[in-house]
Amino acid sequence: MVNIGVSFPPKVTHICCIGAGYVGGPTSAVMAAQCPDIRFTVADTDSARIAAWNSSNLPVYEKGLDDLVKMQRSVNLFFTTDVDSAIRQAEMILIAVNTPTKTRGVGSGKAADLRNVEMCVRRIATVAETDKVVVERSTVPCGTGQMVAGILDEFAKPGVQFHVLSNPEFMSEGSAIANLLHPDRVIIGAHGTSQWAQGLLRAVYEQWVPRDRILTMDLWSAELSKLAANAMLAQRISSINAISAVCEAAGASVKSVADGVGSDRRIGRDFLDASVGFGGSCFHKDVASLVWLSQSLNLPEVAEYWSQVLAMNSFQISRFARTVSQTVVGGLEDKRIACLGFAYKSGTGDSRNTPAAEVCRYLLDEGAHLAVYDPKVPDQHIRDRMEELGCDLSQVSVCASAEEAADGAQAVVVLTAWKQFLALDWEIVYGSMAKPAYVFDGQLMLEPETMRRLGYHFYQIGHPRSP
C-alpha cells in the first residue's frame, strides 16, 4: 500500500514533467502559459532533445508551439537533463515518457513496454525527499497505477508519501496546441486515498478548462478510457476503409457513402475519411495493447474483435500498394515512382509508424526506384523509417520538392494529405512524367475528373477506377 498523506501545500507551485517529447513539451508549454504562478520543469535523459528545446529549432513541429515556448521559456518553463533535481523541486510530477509496444518476450508485438514508466517511478521514489503527486500522462494499460503505487511504496524514503493519478492525454499531432487549449475533456482518475490529489490537479486545469469538461473517475477507468478512445477512433477508420474496398468493387464512392452515413447525428462525420490506412505512434500500439489486455483478462473474443481493427489497417495498406503495382502497365521493375508525403498525416513532421513506409517497402520489393518528397519529415527520418523495415535504400532518393520527385516518374503516389499537393500545377507535372502517367491518390485529395482530363490514369481509394 502507498502511504496516505495529508501534509501537502494547498496549491501546486512547481510541476515537473518527465519526458520532453510530443506530449511532454507541448503540454508543459501550454500549461506554463495558462498557469503563470506555476513553475514547469521538463526533464529528459535525452540531452540532444533538451538542447533542441532550449534552442530556436524545437524538436517537435506544432503550429503555435514556437511562439509559446519563446514566450514562456526561462519565465516559468525550463528544460533540463537534471531529472533528479526536477523531481526534488516539484510537488507534482507528470510522467510523459514513451510506452512503445514490446518487441520481445511475453506479449511481444502487443503488450505495452512499460520500462520507461517503471524507470521514472523508481527514480521518483528513490530521489524524492518530500511528498509528491505522481501523474500518469503516458498511455498505459488499465492497472498500471497499481504497479506505480507498488514501486513508490517499496522505494520511498521514510515518511515520504506519494499519491498516484491518471491524467491521460488526448491531443492529436498537428493540432496539439489547439487541443490542449480547448480540450473536449480532461480526465483525472484516482483511487480512494489519492482523491484529494485529484482536486489539486483539477485546480491546475480549472485555470483555463471549463469545469464541466473536467471528468473525475477512478484510476482504472481513467487508464482504460484512453485505450478505449484510441481503439474506437481507429475502429472508425478501419470500418470506413473496409467500406472503401466494397466501394471499389461495387463502383460506389466512399466519400459519398461517408457523407451519407456520417450525416446521421448518432454516427457523425468525423474520422470517416478513408485513406491508405492509419499510422502514427499511438493507434497501432494502443489497439494492440487493448488486445493484449483483453487476452490477459481471459477475454479471447474481445481480443479477436479489436485485433480485426489492426488486420483491416494492414489489409488497406497492402491493398493500396498492390493496386499500384498491378495497375502500372508492365509492372514496377526499374520504374521511377514518386511518393508524395511521408508523414503519417499532414500537419506534422512525425513519421512514426507511417503507412507511407510500408507502401514504399512494397513498391521497392516490386523493383521500383522511389523518389520521395515530404515538406516536413527530415530526410534522415525518411531513410531511417525505411531502413527499419529492411528496405534497400540504394533505390531511394529523397527529393527537395514534389515537382523534382515527379520529374520522369511513371507514377505519382500520394501518401500524405499535405495541402500543397492540391496546389501543384498538375498539368506541368504531367508534362514532366513518363507516359502513360499514373496518379494513385491514397488520401482522397485530388479531383478525379480534373486529373483524368489532364491525361492521367487516375486511381483513388474507395472510388471507381479510370474508365
| Active-site hit among 282, 360, 391, 399 | 282
**Region from 55-63, 163-171, 207-215, 372-380 binding ligand UGA, contact rule CB under 6 A:** 163-171
Rounded to whole angstroms, the Cα distance separating 163 from 168 reads 16
Please choose which of ligand UGA, ligand NAD, none residue 275 contacts, taking the beta carbon within 5 to 8 angstroms, the exact cut-off set by kind. ligand UGA
Sign of CA dihedral 182, 211, 72, 138: negative
Q: How far is the CB of 165 from ligand UGA (least distance, A)?
A: 18
Please choose which of ligand UGA, ligand NAD, none residue 448 contacts, taking the beta carbon within 5 to 8 angstroms, the exact cut-off set by kind. none
Rounded to whole angstroms, the Cα distance separating 177 from 317 reads 30
Q: How far is the CB of 29 from ligand UGA (least distance, A)?
A: 17
CA angle (127 as vertex; 190, 192 as ends), nearest 5:
15
Q: List the beta bridge partners of residue 77.
A: 40, 73
Rounded to whole angstroms, the Cα distance separating 142 from 151 reads 17
Please choose which of ligand NAD, ligand UGA, none residue 233 contacts, taking the beta carbon within 5 to 8 angstroms, the exact cut-off set by kind. ligand UGA
Rounded to whole angstroms, the Cα distance separating 98 from 315 reads 27
CB atoms within 10 A of CB 181: 15
Q: Which helix (H) or strand (E) holds 105?
A: none
Please choose which of ligand UGA, ligand NAD, none residue 96 contacts, taking the beta carbon within 5 to 8 angstroms, the exact cut-off set by kind. ligand NAD
Q: How far is the CB of 123 from ligand NAD (least distance, A)?
A: 7
Best CA proximity match to 161, nearest among 190, 131, 136: 131
Closest to ligand NAD by CB, 123 or 463: 123
CB 63 within 8 A of CB 347: yes
- Size, binding site for ligand UGA by CB under 6 A: 20
Closest to ligand NAD by CB, 126 or 263: 126
Residue from the set 275, 295, 307, 313 that interacts with ligand UGA by CB under 6 A: 275
For residue 294, state whether it binds ligand UGA (rule: CB under 6 A): no
Grid coordinates given for 347: 500537419
Closest to ligand UGA by CB, 332 or 382: 382
Q: Which residue is nearest to ligand UGA (CB)?
A: 282
Considering only residues 328 through 347, tell me which ones interact with ligand UGA, judged by CB under 6 A.
344-345
Please choose which of ligand NAD, ligand UGA, none residue 430 contacts, taking the beta carbon within 5 to 8 angstroms, the exact cut-off set by kind. none
Grid coordinates given for 141: 494499460
If phi > 0 it is left, if psi is from -120 to 50 it is alpha, else beta; for residue 2 that is beta
Grid coordinates given for 402: 514534389
Considering only residues 359 through 418, tell me which ones interact with ligand UGA, judged by CB under 6 A.
none
Grid coordinates given for 163: 499519491
For residue 352, state whether it binds ligand UGA (rule: CB under 6 A): no
For residue 173, state whether it binds ligand UGA (rule: CB under 6 A): yes
For residue 138, state whether it binds ligand UGA (rule: CB under 6 A): no
Q: How far is the CB of 168 from ligand NAD (least distance, A)?
A: 7
CB 416 within 8 A of CB 340: yes
Interface residue list for ligand NAD (CB under 6 A): 18-24, 44-46, 49, 83, 96-99, 116, 119-120, 138-139, 169, 171, 173, 281-282
DSSP-assigned letters across all residues of 249-318: HHT--HHHHHHHHHTSTTT-STT----S---SSSHHHHHHHHHHHHHHTT-HHHHHHHHHHHHHHHHHHH
CB 462 within 8 A of CB 244: yes
Q: How far is the CB of 78 from ligand UGA (least distance, A)?
A: 25
Closest to ligand NAD by CB, 169 or 248: 169
Residue from the set 155, 196, 208, 271 that interacts with ligand UGA by CB under 6 A: 271
- In angstroms, how far is the first alpha carbon of the chain from the final one? 69
- Active-site residue flag, 282: yes
Residue from the set 280, 341, 349, 448 that interacts with ligand UGA by CB under 6 A: 280
For residue 191, state whether it binds ligand UGA (rule: CB under 6 A): no
CB 129 within 8 A of CB 50: no
Residues with a known catalytic role: 282
Where on the chain is the footprint of ligand UGA (CB under 6 A)?
139, 169-173, 230, 233, 237, 271-273, 275, 278-280, 282-283, 344-345
